Structure 1
Amino acid sequence: MVEFPESNVGPKFKGKRVGYFRETAGYRRYAQAYQDGFEQLPPVRETIDVPTSFGVVRAYRFGDGDTTPLVLLPGRQASTPLWAANLPGLMAVRPVITLDLLGEPGLSVQSKRLTDDADQATWLSEALAELESRPVHVLGVSIGGWSAVNLAVRHPERVASLITLDAPFVFGAMTWKMIVISLGSVLPGMPEKWRNSLLSWISGGVSAPQDMPEGRLIASGMKDFAAYLPMTNRISREQLSALAQPYLGIFAGRSIVHNSRKLADRARKLVPGGQFEVWPDASHAINGEYPDEIAARVAKFLGEIGPAED
C-alpha cells in the first residue's frame, strides 16, 4: 500500500502559488489511480519523505546493493507509477531511486513558491543530498531530463552522470505543436474527448489510455491538479559547454516536441564528450515504448564510464 502524505487540497491553497489538488473528489480520484499504478511496480525497498526548502519530496528506493544509485525523474503530469515498464530492467543494472517532482501531480507536497530555474535545482539538490552522500546517476524523461541537466549545471557535485530521454529546453526550443498541447493539458475545463487525445499522445498512441492506471493518473493530474511552476528556460550554450559529467542523450525520431535530428547534431557540438543518439521509431513516450532497450543502453553507458561497484 502507498503511504499517502497530507497533500495540498482545496481552494485555500490557490493564493499561495504552490501546486495543489483543486478539490477533495479530484484528490481521491488521483490517489486511487496512484495506488492502482503503484501496485504494478516491483516491491519498494523504502519510502522516504524528504524535507527541502520548498516542500517535502516523496522518494522511493527500489532494488538491492550498495552501488551508486540511478535516480529517475519523470515528465510533466507524471510521477513514480509511470516508471512501471522501466523499473524491472533498470533495477537489474543498479539500485534505483524515484522522485515525484515538487510542484507536479504526485505525492511530493510543495510549501513554498518556486520562482525560477535555480529554485527548481535547489529543491532537487537538497533532496538528493538527504538521500545519498555521493553523486548519483540521474535519468530524466521529457521535462525530467531538463530537470536533470538544470541540476547538473547548478549543483554539479550532486551528479555523477546524466541520461536524458527526449528532453525539451536543453538543446533547443519546443515546437509550436508541443506548446499548444502543453497549454491545453493544464486547462481544467478541457472537454474529455480532447483530454483523451492528449493522453493517447502521451501514452504513445494507446487508443484508450484512460482505462489504464497510467492514463487515469495523467488524466487526473491534468484535470484535478493546479500547478504554479516558473517558466522553463532553455539551458544556455555556456552552461552546456561547461558540463563535465558523462552524458547520454537519446532523442525520439517521431517526437513532436522538437526536431530530434537537428538537436542531436547541436548536442554533439555543444557537449563533444557526450553520447547522443536518435531512435528513429520512438515517440516522446519513449520510456514506455522501449523499456528493455533503454535498460540495455543505460547498462552499457554506465559500464563504460565507471566500475560496477562504484
Structure 2
Amino acid sequence: MARVGRFKNGAARETYLRAYEAMEPLWPLPSMTVDVPTAFGPTHVRQSGSGDGLPLVLLHGFGGTGLNWHDVVLGLARDRAVYALDTIGTAGRSVQTAPLAGDADYGVWFAEVLDGLGLDRVHVLGESQGAWHATLAAVHAADRVASVSLIEPNGVFTKVPLRVLAKMLRFGANQTDAGWRRMTDWLTPGVTLTDLEWACLKAAQGYRPSGGWARPFKDAELESLAPPVLVIFGAESVIAEPVAARRRLAEHLPSAEVEIFTGVGHGLRGQIPEQIIERIVAFLALHDRAVHDSAAHRER
C-alpha cells in the first residue's frame, strides 16, 4: 500500500529543519521560495536566475533537497531561471499529505508544480534518484518537458547490482558518523561534503520517505520517451552500469545522447563540476533553439 512520507516524530522534524536552515546560506544566488499546492501536498521550490532560456527544474538525489544544487546553480542559471524542488515524499520543506500511488502520479505532481509556478514547458535535470523522478516526468508529463538531463541515473536503465544493494544495506545497518563517511567515500569518492551538508544528510535519517526506489524502465517506455534526453555517467560508478546502460539506450532510444566521463564515479558532479555544467548548458541551449524554431514555425 502506498504511504505518505513523514518525519518519525516532532523532534526529528525540528532537528532536520534547523539543519536545513543552516544550509541555506550555501546558496550563492539571490533566490525566492514558494510552497506550491498540489494534490499530494505543498511542494517547496527555490527559484534563482533569469534570462531568455527555457526554465530549468532541478530534482535532487536520495537524502538531498533542492539546496544540494548550490555548488552548480551559478553555472546552470547563467541565462535562465532555475527552480530547485524539494521532491514530495522525501526529507525537505515539502510536506506530503497524500500518497503517490504509482509512477504516473509523479507526472501529475510534476505538472501541478509547474501549474502553480505558471510554467508551461521546462527543461528537467535530475541526479541519481532524482534522475528517476526526472524520467518519470518525461514519460508521464511529456508535453511539459522540453528536454531531460540525467546525471548518474542508477536503476533507471539497468538494475542496480545485487552486490551494491547488499553493501548499501550493510552500511545502512551501521548508522554512525564513521559508517556514513565510509559509505560516502565508497559511493562518491573524491567528493567532500561540507559540515552543513553532513548535518542535513544525517538529520534526513529522521524522515521515513515514501517514494520507493527506481526500477528499470521497460523497453516500450524507453521507446516512448518523447523529449530529448542527455544521460551522463561516471565511468568508475559503483552504482550505475554506464556501458550496459549506453548499450540499452542505443537499442531502444538511439536519439539519446550518452556521455561517460572517465576517472570519476557516482559523485562526478562534485568531482568535475565545470565539465558537467558545460555539457548540460550546451544541451539546454540546443533544445532552447529547437523549441523556439518550432514555435516560430507554428506562428507562420
TM-score (norm 2): 0.88
Query: SS of 1:195's equivalent?
Result: helix
The structure 2 residue matched to 1:217, chosen from 188, 193, 200, is 200
The structure 1 residue matched to 2:121, chosen from 135, 151, 159, is 135
Q: How many residues were matched structurally?
A: 292
Equivalent residues of 1:62, 1:95 under 8 A apart: yes
Q: Report what 1:254 is aligned to.
A: 236
Q: Report what 1:162 is aligned to.
A: 148
Q: Report what 1:84 is aligned to.
A: 70
Q: Report what 1:10 is aligned to.
A: none
Equivalent residues of 2:91, 2:207 under 8 A apart: yes
Whole-angstrom distance in 2 between the partners of 1:109 and 1:182: 27
Equivalent residues of 1:253, 1:283 under 8 A apart: yes
TM-score (norm 1): 0.86
Deviations 1:146-196 (A, max 9, x none): 111111111111100010001023211112243235545766x73443223
The structure 1 residue matched to 2:215, chosen from 228, 233, 244, is 233
Deviations 1:99-151 (A, max 9, x none): 00111111110001222212222212211222243210000000111111111
1:68 Cα deviation from its structure 2 partner? 1.2
The 1:73/1:185 distance shift into structure 2, 3 A limit, reads: farther
- What 5-or-longer segments of structure 2 have no aligned partner? 293-300
Equivalent residues of 1:184, 1:190 under 8 A apart: no
Q: CA RMSD in A?
A: 2.4
The structure 2 residue matched to 1:280, chosen from 235, 239, 262, is 262
| Residue 27 (structure 1) aligned with residue 27 (structure 2) | no
Query: SS of 2:76's equivalent?
Result: helix
Q: Report what 1:4 is aligned to.
A: none
| Residue 292 (structure 1) aligned with residue 270 (structure 2) | no
- What 5-or-longer segments of structure 1 have no aligned partner? 1-14
| Residue 302 (structure 1) aligned with residue 288 (structure 2) | no
The 1:246/1:206 distance shift into structure 2, 3 A limit, reads: closer
Q: Report what 1:57 is aligned to.
A: 43
| Residue 194 (structure 1) aligned with residue 179 (structure 2) | yes
Q: Name which of structure 1's ranges 83-92 and 198-207 shifts more when overlaid on structure 2.
A: 198-207
Runs of 4+ in structure 1 deviating by more than 6 angstroms, as ranges, are: none
Identity of aligned residues (%): 29
Whole-angstrom distance in 2 between the partners of 1:159 and 1:181: 35
